[in-house]
Amino acid sequence: MAIGSDKPLTQSASMYESAGKIYPREQAGRFSKLSKLATVILLGLYYVVPWLTWDARQAVLFDLPARKFYLIGLTLWPQDFPFLALLLIILALSLFFFTALAGRLWCGFACPQTVWTEAFIWMEQWTEGTRSQRMKLDKAPWSWNKLRRKTSKQILWIAFSMWTGFTFVGYFTPIRQLGVDIIALNVGGWTLFWGLFYGFATYGNAGFMREQVCKYMCPYARFQSAMFDKDTLIISYDEKRGEPRGGRKRSVDPAAAGLGHCIDCTLCVQVCPTGIDIRDGLQYECIACAACIDACDSVMDRFNYPRGLVRYTTEHALKGDTTRLLRPRMFVYGALLLVLITGLITAMATRTPVILDVIRDRNSLYRELPNDMIENIYTLKLINQRSTARDFRLSVDGVPGLALDGVDGVVTVAGGDVLSLPVRARTHRGSAYGIMNITFTVVATDDDGVTVTEDSRFIGPMP
Ligand code: SF4
Ligand code: SF4
């Protein structure tokens, strides 16, 4: 039995209603310009950055097999993971801070889903025309014109998606070599998988799913309301000014006709990429793209009404109260951000660009040599985190007379390389008894400040 009905559910009855296709109307205006600029800059960065070179290598490369992340002049190693973790925490906190301050700015102008969808809509407009032309084309029976337009759109979308997938993989494997490998049809299985996966994800999300991703898949849309308060910047319809809504001629005085400023043209709904009506109040589907502001402002201009019937505002401002920019949560987010950013900068600036790891040979406790000498064997792993080669002086102490044999004292490690160096530490038999703590020291020959030490043990005969 259907709820609220006395009719039994038949087999053909369905509780599912598919979402109708949204045809966002093209819009001009200041926020539309800003959105186009953001799309061009962000997509431009995404596609150009992997092609940039720094110190004869790819400027940004997440080299997973070598476990090294190159970020322009910086090389991050697995030992630097805390820096990355801190950076992610800072990014998340920045999102909280800016959401509390300015609402869903991220969603409207910088989110990858918004940016790629915008680019896909441009291609749709180039091939299928304006909103009304697209709607007409979809309703029309198949014809040569429809086939030509739909095919052109698909070719553009697929080519753009594949280039996106190729670029994505180019952040993890040198992109120039990847290009050569693709041309030579010599691409590894995983590389091919990730390129196609990311390409098809772009195609599906930006070409077909669009607002469904924001409405049903994005977790941020669900919890961002927890960061909102009555002083957060939102896009809102001014009900007091707009109601009662209704059509009228431009010559009609709304006050005399008992009307508000909303002429009920529905332009704000037609431009909305998520298909909602901003006049129904604040809705979680609203991604704050500000297209409805541009649309409504153009109507207000035509009717000689003041702009801003739909505008950036706050709940307090709408009620006529004062908006408070500085409020406790802003101070808390701001202070936390400041501490974390300062901590990250300080940690990065004072980071010693060399790592020393000492592994003692476990196969023998010690070796007795002629001339009453005792020897322990170690493998030193020396990581030069700088991008250029560097000389290091090695030494060891902790036991009287202890010295290194097998190295000349100075070793050279190539930029961003790991040197695995077997060394022997020796001293006189009379100096070493039992287990003794020793310390290996590595100093860069060109800068005494670049020094690392690592403790180990020296084992001699039991007393
Ligand atoms: S309601 Fe306005 S700001 Fe919100 S998504 Fe729709 S057009 Fe963009
Ligand atoms: S665009 Fe402005 S005037 Fe037109 S329906 Fe929307 S709010 Fe009313």
The rounded Å distance from CA 218 to ligand 1 centre is 16
Highest mean pLDDT among 220-234, 251-265, 407-421: 251-265
Whole-angstrom distance, CA of residue 123 vs CA of residue 150: 11
What does the pLDDT read at residue 102?
Answer: 84
Q: Is 407 left (phi over 0), alpha (psi -120 to 50) or beta?
A: beta
- pLDDT bin (cut points 50, 70, 90) of residue 5 is very low
Specify the length of the chain in residues: 463
- pLDDT bin (cut points 50, 70, 90) of residue 4 is very low
Rg of the chain (C-alpha set): 33
| Beta-carbon count within 10 A of 389 CB | 12
Q: Which of 117-131, 162-176, 224-238, 442-456 has the lowest mean pLDDT?
A: 224-238
What does the pLDDT read at residue 14?
Answer: 65
The rounded Å distance from CA 164 to ligand 2 centre is 37
Whole-angstrom distance, CA of residue 93 vs CA of residue 333: 7
On the question of pLDDT at 92 being above 70, the answer is yes
Q: Answer whether 245's CB lies under 8 Å from 264's CB.
A: yes
The rounded Å distance from CA 179 to ligand 2 centre is 49
Whole-angstrom distance, CA of residue 42 vs CA of residue 27: 20
Task: Please enumerate in sequence order all residues whose Cβ is within 8 A of that of 365, keeping only pairs 6 or more positions apart, or say none.
Answer: 459
Name the residue of 109, 210, 271, 276 to mutate for ligand 1: max ligand atoms within 8 A of Cβ: 276
pLDDT tens for residues 369-415? 888 889 999 999 998 888 788 999 999 999 888 988 867 678 999 88
For the chain, report the end-to-end CA distance as a whole number of angstroms.
92
What does the pLDDT read at residue 12?
Answer: 54
- DSSP-based three-state secondary structure for 132: helix
Q: Answer whether 383's CB lies under 8 Å from 352's CB.
A: no
Task: Please enumerate in sequence order all residues whose Cβ is within 8 A of that of 106, keeping only pairs 6 or more positions apart, or say none.
Answer: 95, 98, 99, 220
The rounded Å distance from CA 275 to ligand 2 centre is 14
On the question of pLDDT at 36 being above 80, the answer is yes
pTM for the predicted model, two decimal places: 0.82
- DSSP-based three-state secondary structure for 324: coil
Mean pLDDT within 413-440: 88
What is the rounded average pLDDT for all residues in the chain? 89
pLDDT tens for residues 226-238? 788 888 889 999 9
Q: Which ligand is nearest to the CA of 241?
A: 2
Q: Which residues sit with their C-beta closer than 6 Å to ligand 2?
A: 237, 242, 262-268, 279, 295-296, 299, 309-310
Residue type, 432: A
The rounded Å distance from CA 275 to ligand 1 centre is 8
The rounded Å distance from CA 267 to ligand 1 centre is 11
Q: Which ligand is nearest to the CA of 292?
A: 1
| Beta-carbon count within 10 A of 111 CB | 20
What does the pLDDT read at residue 132?
Answer: 94
Q: Is 367 left (phi over 0), alpha (psi -120 to 50) or beta?
A: beta
On the question of pLDDT at 457 being above 50, the answer is yes
Considering only CA atoms, which residue is closest to atom 2 of ligand 2? 296
Whole-angstrom distance, CA of residue 357 vs CA of residue 442: 11
- 271 ligand 1 Cβ < 6 A: yes
Whole-angstrom distance, CA of residue 373 vs CA of residue 431: 9
Name the residue of 278, 283, 298 to mutate for ligand 1: max ligand atoms within 8 A of Cβ: 278
Whole-angstrom distance, CA of residue 191 vs CA of residue 197: 10
With CA atoms as reference, report the closest residue to 360 among 405, 418, 412, 422: 422
- pLDDT bin (cut points 50, 70, 90) of residue 259 is very high
Q: Answer whether 390's CB lies under 8 Å from 414's CB.
A: no
Atom of ligand 1 nearest to the CA of 275: 6
Q: Which of 110-114, 263-267, 381-385 has the lowest mean pLDDT?
A: 381-385
Q: Which ligand is nearest to the CA of 260?
A: 2
Pairwise pLDDT comparison (137 vs 83), residue with the higher score:
137
Considering only CA atoms, which residue is closest to atom 3 of ligand 2? 262
Considering only CA atoms, which residue is closest to atom 6 of ligand 1? 272
- 290 ligand 1 Cβ < 6 A: yes
Q: Which ligand is nearest to the CA of 277?
A: 1
What does the pLDDT read at residue 15?
Answer: 67
Share of the chain above pLDDT 70, in %: 95
The rounded Å distance from CA 185 to ligand 1 centre is 45
The rounded Å distance from CA 208 to ligand 2 centre is 27
Mean pLDDT within 54-78: 87
On the question of pLDDT at 134 being above 90, the answer is yes
pLDDT tens for residues 180-196? 999 999 999 999 999 99
- DSSP-based three-state secondary structure for 303: coil
